[in-house]
Structure 1
């Protein structure tokens, strides 16, 4: 058995769970075993992106967890950060033009 952590933060609360799984357990199986969906029933572990220590896991069904791993479940972005920066830059440029 190895010890790992699972973390998830919704808009209003966050949960960190530490538990043990069999060595050789996949990321997806560990997430299911964590019971995180009991606390967040809206989570769809089959489709939501996940990572280990901030690095996205591309194939959670094949990636095996290691002792001490922190599995992170990511929420979808509400807005594209690049688009927000582009709009902010356009607004600043428009403000500079109106000041002249």
Structure 2
């Protein structure tokens, strides 16, 4: 009986630890699941960030001058051009 109680306590403890670790996970903060289809004017873009490689879809998140975050396709020519111009402006 004592062994069964100890076994149940161990199972319960390991379950609790796994939930705690999963809840505080080290996952990606921002992922995009679809792209904004239209081109954003460069003058309205303040900054950009790349999504984490753990996201299911690669994307660039543009931060606009009005603090709106927009997910765009990193392969689009206008996005690559905007990132290059922002990098040059900030260096």
Normalising to structure 1: TM-score of the pair? 0.21
Higher fraction of helix: 2
Q: Which has the larger radius of gyration?
A: 2
Of structures 1 and 2, the one with the larger relative CO (CA 8 A, separation 6+) is 1
